[in-house]
């Protein structure tokens, strides 16, 4: 078919179909336990309330008696609403229409499961399973930024066996190994003169290994300091890129590969029991997003290959929280946090990750009907300041210029049991 042959030739001009998808691999899901939502995750490395301490600080297992299980689910509803302000199509001449894309956010669910075993008075082992990175955005197919992104979906699973040792009554240490599996889908439009839009879709996956370690120090019986570190995880991602047309069907299929270095994280936390009723929590964390400076996309050789400069920056997060023990069964929680975005400027903000600095406000509660079972529920609202985008880094993908109004809501439940 003549049309199909022509499209196959032009498809070689479609650049870096994995690039925008890999950008969003830098989105960290902090929601590795629902019990921390109510405090905005303040004190996460210094307050081992259940087995989920395996993720935030494995040294905290030394504070857990016997065998403990903890599992939960967090529902996340982000909202990304774009308003166009002068966007142009590829080459500055392709008509875009007026569709702003609708709400690119959708419901996401983050599960977790943890188990810790006290082998001896000083030794614990544990296992954690969670999803530390993930994001999904999807726009209307005919929106003005379709040449940069129509759909992006990334999922991860992390398996984290750990061990802790209680050095003395004041100091505990812990460490773990991490296996991370990543799956990504990325879809966008590519323009062909005389034909219109092609659909370009990347599907890829990969895995990698990392490690984590931490210490927990009791300054006094009422004050604990926690310090933890999670290493980078290097993932070699492999898959394929398919280019299709509504009339001609499959035009081209190319092998695709890249390497993503997921960032490392360090957390410093403090937990202080003010009295029998009140507990104060604080948290400062650092994430090394600058490990993702650019992405070199291999789509089977020139002219398919692409290099995308991201210029991610390292980020900080600060959180404060408090717990109030209402009675023996009920504990009430509250927290505030500031969370910095890794995106350096409007120029490098991708439509697949329209991220910005955000502020957390959260509440929660724990119900403990007995000394073995506890149920946590938490809610947080994330306020995101108005987000400008002025992305014109690749003329073949058009110039997206405008503003996002964004926010997010989180609600989670965690159930913990001690045998």
| Mean of per-residue pLDDT scores for the chain | 90
Looking at residue 162, what is its pLDDT? 98
Which of 45-49, 119-123, 391-395 is predicted with the least confidence, judged by mean pLDDT? 391-395
Looking at residue 21, what is its pLDDT? 29
Handedness of CA 220, 223, 224, 225 (dihedral sign): negative
Which of 72-76, 95-99, 198-202 is predicted with the least confidence, judged by mean pLDDT? 198-202
Task: Between 243 and 58, name the one with better pLDDT.
Answer: 58
Instruction: Say if residue 308's pLDDT is above 70.
Output: no
Which residues does residue 126 pair with via DSSP β-bridges, in sequence order?
Answer: 116, 162
Cα torsion for 297, 298, 299, 300, to the nearest 10°?
Answer: 170
Which residues does residue 252 pair with via DSSP β-bridges, in sequence order?
Answer: 243
Task: Between 48 and 252, name the one with better pLDDT.
Answer: 48
Looking at residue 258, what is its pLDDT? 85
Please answer whether residues 164 and 120 qualify as being in contact, where contact means their C-beta atoms are separated by less than 8 angstroms: no
| CATH code assigned to 48-418 | 2.40.160.60
State pTM to two decimals.
0.89
Which of 66-70, 105-109, 304-308, 349-353 is predicted with the least confidence, judged by mean pLDDT? 304-308
Domain extent listing, the chain: 48-418
Q: Name the E strands within 85-195.
A: 108-118, 123-130, 134-138, 151-166, 171-192
Q: What pLDDT digit, counting tens, does each position of 144-158 carry?
A: 999 999 998 989 999
Please answer whether residues 336 and 388 qualify as being in contact, where contact means their C-beta atoms are separated by less than 8 angstroms: no
Within a 13 Å sphere around the CA of 388, how many CA atoms are in the beta-carbon half? 8
Looking at residue 20, what is its pLDDT? 31
Instruction: Say if residue 1's pLDDT is above 60.
Output: no
Q: What pLDDT digit, counting tens, does each position of 5-57 carry?
A: 443 433 333 333 333 322 223 489 999 999 999 999 999 999 999 999 999 99
Please answer whether residues 162 and 61 qualify as being in contact, where contact means their C-beta atoms are separated by less than 8 angstroms: yes
Tell me what percent of the residues of the chain surpass a pLDDT of 70: 91
Q: What pLDDT digit, counting tens, does each position of 177-205 carry?
A: 999 999 988 898 988 887 888 898 889 99
Burial bucket for residue 375 (CB in 10 Å: 0-12, 13-18, 19+): middle
């Amino acid at each position: 078919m003549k049309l199909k042959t022509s499209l196959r030739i032009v498809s070689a001009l479609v650049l870096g179909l994995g690039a925008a998808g890999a950008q969003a691999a830098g989105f960290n899901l902090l929601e590795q336990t629902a019990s921390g939502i109510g405090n905005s995750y303040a004190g996460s490395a210094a307050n081992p309330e259940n087995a989920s301490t395996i993720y935030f600080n494995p040294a905290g297992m030394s504070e857990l008696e016997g065998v403990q299980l903890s599992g939960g689910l967090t529902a996340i509803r982000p909202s990304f609403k774009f308003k166009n302000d002068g966007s142009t199509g590829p080459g500055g001449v392709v008509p875009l229409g007026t569709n702003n894309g609708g709400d690119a956010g959708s419901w996401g669910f983050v599960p977790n499961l943890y188990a810790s075993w006290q082998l001896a008075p000083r030794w614990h082992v544990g296992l954690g399973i969670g999803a530390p990175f993930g994001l999904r955005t999807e726009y209307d197919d005919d929106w003005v930024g379709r040449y940069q992104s129509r759909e992006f979906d990334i999922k991860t699973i992390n398996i984290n066996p750990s061990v802790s040792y209680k050095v003395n009554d004041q100091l505990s240490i812990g460490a773990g190994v991490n296996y991370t599996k990543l799956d990504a889908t990325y879809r966008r439009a590519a323009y062909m003169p005389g034909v219109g839009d092609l659909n370009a879709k990347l599907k890829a996956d990969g895995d990698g290994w990392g490690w984590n370690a931490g210490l927990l120090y009791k300054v006094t019986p009422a004050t604990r300091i926690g310090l933890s570190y999670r290493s980078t995880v290097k993932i070699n991602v492999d898959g394929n890129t398919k280019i299709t047309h509504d009339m001609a069907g499959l035009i081209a299929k190319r092998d695709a590969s890249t390497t993503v270095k997921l960032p490392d994280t360090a957390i410093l936390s403090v937990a202080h029991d003010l009295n029998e009723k009140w507990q104060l929590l604080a948290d400062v964390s650092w994430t090394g997003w600058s490990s993702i400076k650019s992405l070199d996309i291999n789509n089977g050789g020139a002219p398919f290959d692409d290099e995308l400069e991201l210029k991610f920056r390292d980020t900080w997060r600060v959180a404060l929280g408090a717990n109030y023990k209402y009675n023996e069964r009920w504990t009430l929680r509250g927290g505030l946090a500031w969370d910095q975005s890794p995106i350096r400027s409007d120029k490098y903000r991708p439509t697949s990750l329209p991220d910005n600095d955000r502020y957390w406000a959260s509440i929660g509660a724990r119900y403990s009907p007995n000394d073995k079972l506890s149920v946590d529920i938490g809610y947080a609202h994330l306020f995101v300041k108005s987000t400008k985008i002025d992305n014109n880094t690749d003329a073949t993908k058009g110039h997206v210029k405008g503003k996002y109004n964004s926010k997010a809501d989180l609600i989670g439940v965690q159930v913990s049991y001690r045998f």
